Structure 1
Amino acid sequence: MRTPRVRAHWVVLGAVLLALGVALLVQGYTHHLGSITDDSVPSSTASGNVPREVHEGGPVIDASDGGVRTAGPPDRTIALTFDDGPDPTWTPRILDVLERHGVHATFFVVGTAAIDHPDLVRRMVDEGHEVGVHTLTHVDLGVAPAWQRELELQGSQQAIVGITGSKTALMRPPYSSENEAVTDGTWSAIRAGADDGYLTVLTTMDSEDWRQPGVEAIEQNLTPSGTDGQIVLMHDGGGDRSETVEALDEMLSRYDEQGYRVTTVGDALSVESAAPATTVERVAGAAFGWGIRLSDLVVTLIGWALVISGFVMVVRAVLVVAVARRHHRMARRGRHLPGAPARTIVNEPVSVIVPAHNEAAGIEAAIRSIAASTHAVEIIVVDDGSTDDTAAIAEGLGLPGVTVIRRRNGGKPAALNTGLRAATHDLIVMVDGDTVFEPGTVHSLVQAFADPNVGAVSGNTKVANRDGVLGAWQHIEYVVGFNLDRRLFDVAECMPTVPGAIGGFRREALERVGGVSDDTLAEDTDLTMALCRDGWRVVYRDDARAWTEAPASLGALWRQRYRWCYGTLQAMWKHRGAVVQGGAAGKLGRRGLGYLLVLQVLLPLFAPVVDLFAVYGLIFLDPVRIAGVWLAFLAVQLVMAAYAFRLDRESLRPLWTLPLQQIVYRQLMYLVVIQSVFTAFAGVHLRWHRMERYGSLRVPADDRALTRAS
């Protein structure tokens, strides 16, 4: 019965990635496309379109309704203004100086800085100071497109509304100064601001404190030459403002002695610079601010997660290579296992069980290869309700020692149990119908049973149809991923899977765990975990090679890996109790299941975020550094792959496809894990996905076939 296809998880994944993408876009725009720099950066010098009234008028400009009106403070009145804050270090010190002198000022705040330090903005307002718009990210409005100007002005306004509950009517474009310096670009920004209801505030006296010229130079720049009213420009953010604080304290005393009134822009011009925001505007402003903060938090968390995942991957690479080296040396010395007894030769006969369902394309090659074994074997072919000529081909070979059992289709576990009941020997080898052995494979495999504590042994599965890019990718995965991990699991005594393609078992061990269970779609993993929990050692023999057909299309690969991954998740959940057990079961639970959970579940689930962050880095961060990190990661993969290929005596030629594998194949495998996890949480029963057979298997003549095939 066909089960409905699960599609909701792709909607969820898309929504999550979209939300993360928006967060990254917001954080990238607000923190990396614009920044607070000194005021020496001009947008342009052209000013042919600027009205004469602007160049010759007062520093406060109203360009609404298509007209131009300007104004300035009255005589002996100084409107004190600060740009580029708030800054957590310098703004509080400046506010303290203003409080000591009993004066108020106008602070043109950068929206992102205000969101980062809302308490300082609230302090400004509470102490009677004015707050004005200085854009969201301190971009040059003179060269910004219309959409960005709108975003910068409204974003800064929303930040102010969300913090103070009031709207401001004052705006100062970054990099602006006196009226005479207004360029065509700045004038365009002033008109755009006027359309949104802003008065533009320029300056008549620039302290040039952004140059950090020294306290005396700043005081000189702030000394009036007459009694005309002035708008003074200073900075409370954007860098070290220690000179600003010292000069401000001195100049406020001097202004008081000279009879100047120091106040805000609105008070100096007798205009209402702020108005209460509506409830909707306050809610929208608060949401905007929290959205920025949330995006910052998301990026921070992703950054830490990337560091942790990168550390885990590097540790894993070092660990598997080091352990594989130890495993290889132990095997060369004839001690396959830590603490194993002196090696003895195992010559007792073996029962080889071949479950087969519609394996007509490869069953002859499989049976002939096993029959050619140098070890004494009986072959039991269990035809599990095939609708093709599988059983007839097996019977027609007429090979001695081959028994064919026909049964109604009941699934692979049932077929294996049928073969187990018919087997006459105490050592059992299970092999898929799409797999061929080398002549020495069975003999090499069963040598591990010289240790009476060994209940099962995994062989070395090789990809037979490795031609083409897809075949090369799977070949790399088998050699680097599966086999290196099996060496690690062997040494750590926590082998989670003996593959169905080639596995050896003691009959006693199989009978103690009740045979092969059909509780999961990964019956091989389920069985192996059951054996570990029963106290048996499960080991790996890299010299017991089996050649199997790998999927030849992306669709077939997806179905196979989907079943594998989903079945592994089922087995992990079924045997989760091993985590709290002792002995061999505890090793499986805390080492094997922990490794699978981190490396094969959690990291793949996080992988799309890594790729999304890589795109973010290429756009908003340093592309060279991002590329360098990726190349370093690729170099680690290449070194690990080269060593794995050397251990397996494989040619290094397929490794040219490794960079492409990281770009294409890796994402495919991660999506398989994501779909499997969602399917498991959704509680959908996944049916068996049978792989298409291609008939590409050939019987290896001898052990040198491995070298020729590579």
Structure 2
Amino acid sequence: GVTADSIIARTIRQKGNGSMILLHDAGGDTREETVKALPAIIQYFKKNGYEFTTIADILDKKKIELMPVAKDEQSFWGKYYDIVVVGFFLGNRFFFYVFLTAIFLAIGRIILIGILATRQFADNKKIKNTARKLPPVSIVVPAYNEEVTAIKTIESLLKTEYPVFNIIFVDDGSKDNTYKAVSEAYAQHPQVKVLTKPNGGKASALNFGISHAVNEYVVCIDADTQLKTDAIYHLMTYFTDEQIGAVAGTVKVGNETNIVTKWQSIEYITAQNMDRRAFDIINSITVVPGAIGAFRKAAIFRAGGFTYDTLAEDCDLTMRILKEGYVIKNCAEAIAYTEAPETLSALLKQRFRWSFGVIQSFWKNRDALFNKKYSYFGMVGMPNILIFQIILPLFSPLADLIMILGLFGSHPEKMLIFYVAFLLIDFIVGAIAFRMEKEPYGKLVYLIPQRFIWRQLMYYILFKSIRKALKGELTTWGVLKRTGNVKVSKNTVVGNSNEPPE
């Protein structure tokens, strides 16, 4: 290292090069060596005829003229310069670590979901259907102002390949001709029961329909949905013992008519369906989708039925069934094609209802959070909602902003490396999801732009939902304007109930 003697020797060697000596403390141990060297340097140069003076003496000025005492009445920057500089430094560090935390949490979750979903996919392929008698099933279809889609839905259901089933259609006080149209078409059909009631919301309509079901099992679907002909069969093969309380089907977008619906299709494949595959492994599926879900009636009654105090009645009931100790499975082979919102305004309306409903359901069932009594649901499922559906998205816009600003900083490569790693892993897991669902890889070209823009939309929805929740405001079920654009080819809809699950 640098010593006092080496500093003295280096300085003396340059005595003929000028009349100024510049020393640098360099910090650390070198600083102490520089201080030790100063007396010897001064003594040497004085002996050799040099005189040490100040800038003030050279300029024939007084020191106070060159270095005036700071006055009390300084500007804001003069008074708070140190605070501002230190605050900027600490703020910069804080936001950088917020970005890193968000990125690493997101990457960690994506990898874990990918691993669990892949394992579930592999395990599912090994399932062999037993030659047992399949029980009768009641299919409950709640509807409110669904005259555009209701007839198509019932037509689709009547093509179901299943031994014994009936359809219970419940009109929830529609203001259009839903009840009239369905009643005229199917009132005399032996497999269809058409009911109507005063408007009370989706949960009320579901409970009403279930109360008229005589079978031990019910399948609940939305009135804008068309099922593959073997969907009911595949759902029911999962009820292998009394512990199975519900089985979630797989929802796909049936009206990919524009960029809005195409992006929703990607989200269903890579997020919703992928999550259910993963959480199936640890019995922590938190939503049996309203578009297609099978239930043991006893599990519904034991959990208290569909309740009216949340907008996500399917999420709330799923959580309560898990809390009752039942197992909830995912059935990737039971496919339903739903009509997704085709406009941005309709999409935001739907997703606000979902987001607000999930927050309500989480708060209602918060006693399960980190509660070992509820096993993985309490220790993984509920924390997943809290961290990745509520807390992290609140900070994610900040993380995106930090990433953009970081590109104009002194080391943009740091931000780019982390962000590109996140996008690459997300893309790979997305491709795995497409492979599992046998979807065309061509749609993957939309994945990266979809991810970035979709996140901004979901941030807006989440902020709006939390604001509404904190204000204690309520909202209603309502209905989206239907177009009837679910168009699925005959070959796609027709399944093969004689084959075991893939």
* TM norm structure 1: 0.64
CA distance in 1, matches of 2:77, 2:130: 76
- Give, in angstroms, the shift of residue 215 of structure 1: 6.0
Are positions 1:317 and 2:110 aligned together? yes
Residue pair 1:346, 1:449 contacting (<8 A) in 2 also: no
The worse-fitting range, judged by mean Cα deviation, of 282-291 and 483-492 is: 282-291
Alignment of 1:46-125 (within 5 A): none
Residue pair 1:371, 1:377 contacting (<8 A) in 2 also: no
1:298 to 91, 94, 100: 91
What is residue 427 of structure 2 aligned with on the other side? 638
2:144 to 350, 357, 365: 357
* Equivalent AA in structure 1 for residue 156 of structure 2: S
What is residue 377 of structure 1 aligned with on the other side? 165
Label 1:222 to 1:603 Cα distance change in 2 as closer, same or farther (>3 A). farther
CA distance in 2, matches of 1:637, 1:650: 17
* Unpaired stretches in structure 2, ≥5 consecutive residues: 497-502
Residue pair 2:144, 2:479 contacting (<8 A) in 1 also: no
SS of residue matched to 1:666: helix
The worse-fitting range, judged by mean Cα deviation, of 261-270 and 393-402 is: 261-270
- Give, in angstroms, the shift of residue 596 of structure 1: 1.4
1:551 to 331, 334, 341: 341
1:456 to 221, 246, 263: 246
1:440 to 227, 230, 235: 230
Residue pair 2:248, 2:294 contacting (<8 A) in 1 also: yes
Per-residue CA shift, 1:300-330, capped at 9, x if unaligned?
A: 2222233333222222222222211211122
CA distance in 1, matches of 2:150, 2:270: 28
What is residue 211 of structure 2 aligned with on the other side? 421
What is residue 171 of structure 1 aligned with on the other side? none
What is residue 158 of structure 1 aligned with on the other side? none
- Give, in angstroms, the shift of residue 241 of structure 1: 6.3
SS of residue matched to 2:308: coil
Are positions 1:564 and 2:357 aligned together? no
CA distance in 2, matches of 1:573, 1:419: 27
The total of aligned residue pairs comes to 489
- Give, in angstroms, the shift of residue 632 of structure 1: 2.7
2:387 to 594, 598, 602: 598
Per-residue CA shift, 1:119-177, capped at 9, x if unaligned?
A: xxxxxxxxxxxxxxxxxxxxxxxxxxxxxxxxxxxxxxxxxxxxxxxxxxxxxxxxxxx
- Give, in angstroms, the shift of residue 262 of structure 1: 3.4
SS of residue matched to 1:501: coil
Residue pair 2:229, 2:495 contacting (<8 A) in 1 also: no
CA distance in 1, matches of 2:88, 2:262: 40
* Equivalent AA in structure 1 for residue 96 of structure 2: G
CA distance in 2, matches of 1:648, 1:673: 28
Are positions 1:389 and 2:177 aligned together? yes
- Give, in angstroms, the shift of residue 391 of structure 1: 1.0
CA distance in 2, matches of 1:279, 1:690: 66
Alignment of 1:455-474 (within 5 A): 455-474=245-264
Alignment of 1:270-281 (within 5 A): 270-272=62-64, 273-281=66-74
Per-residue CA shift, 1:328-366, capped at 9, x if unaligned?
A: 12211117xxxxxx8454511111111100111111111
SS of residue matched to 1:552: coil
What is residue 128 of structure 1 aligned with on the other side? none
Alignment of 1:173-322 (within 5 A): 216-222=9-15, 232-236=21-25, 248-258=38-48, 260-262=50-52, 264-266=54-56, 269-272=61-64, 273-281=66-74, 284-322=77-115
* Equivalent AA in structure 2 for residue 460 of structure 1: T
* Equivalent AA in structure 2 for residue 589 of structure 1: G
Per-residue CA shift, 1:405-437, capped at 9, x if unaligned?
A: 111111111111111111111101111111111
SS of residue matched to 2:147: coil
1:655 to 444, 448, 467: 444
- Give, in angstroms, the shift of residue 259 of structure 1: 6.0
- Give, in angstroms, the shift of residue 668 of structure 1: 1.2
* Equivalent AA in structure 2 for residue 487 of structure 1: R
What is residue 61 of structure 1 aligned with on the other side? none
- Give, in angstroms, the shift of residue 680 of structure 1: 2.1
Residue pair 1:444, 1:543 contacting (<8 A) in 2 also: yes
What is residue 409 of structure 1 aligned with on the other side? 199
- Give, in angstroms, the shift of residue 492 of structure 1: 0.9
The worse-fitting range, judged by mean Cα deviation, of 492-501 and 295-304 is: 295-304
Residue pair 1:439, 1:703 contacting (<8 A) in 2 also: no
Alignment RMSD (CA, Å): 3.0
Residue pair 1:369, 1:436 contacting (<8 A) in 2 also: yes
Residue pair 1:216, 1:247 contacting (<8 A) in 2 also: no
- Greater CA radius of gyration, 1 or 2? 1
What is residue 499 of structure 2 aligned with on the other side? none
CA distance in 1, matches of 2:475, 2:46: 83
Label 1:275 to 1:331 Cα distance change in 2 as closer, same or farther (>3 A). same
* Equivalent AA in structure 1 for residue 363 of structure 2: W
Label 1:286 to 1:504 Cα distance change in 2 as closer, same or farther (>3 A). farther
Residue pair 1:366, 1:699 contacting (<8 A) in 2 also: no
* Unpaired stretches in structure 1, ≥5 consecutive residues: 1-88, 98-212, 336-341
- Give, in angstroms, the shift of residue 589 of structure 1: 1.8
The worse-fitting range, judged by mean Cα deviation, of 276-285 and 572-581 is: 276-285
What is residue 681 of structure 1 aligned with on the other side? 470
* Equivalent AA in structure 2 for residue 519 of structure 1: D
Label 1:411 to 1:283 Cα distance change in 2 as closer, same or farther (>3 A). same
Residue pair 1:614, 1:626 contacting (<8 A) in 2 also: yes
- Give, in angstroms, the shift of residue 504 of structure 1: 0.8
Residue pair 2:103, 2:418 contacting (<8 A) in 1 also: no
Alignment of 1:463-502 (within 5 A): 463-502=253-292
* Equivalent AA in structure 2 for residue 350 of structure 1: V
Per-residue CA shift, 1:535-567, capped at 9, x if unaligned?
A: 111111000000001111111111111111111
More contact order relative to length (CA 8 Å, sep ≥ 6):
2
- Give, in angstroms, the shift of residue 256 of structure 1: 3.8
What is residue 457 of structure 2 aligned with on the other side? 668
SS of residue matched to 2:369: helix
Residue pair 2:171, 2:197 contacting (<8 A) in 1 also: yes
What is residue 123 of structure 1 aligned with on the other side? none
CA distance in 1, matches of 2:401, 2:20: 47
- Give, in angstroms, the shift of residue 703 of structure 1: 5.0
Are positions 1:578 and 2:368 aligned together? yes
* Equivalent AA in structure 2 for residue 392 of structure 1: K
- Give, in angstroms, the shift of residue 222 of structure 1: 4.8
SS of residue matched to 2:345: helix
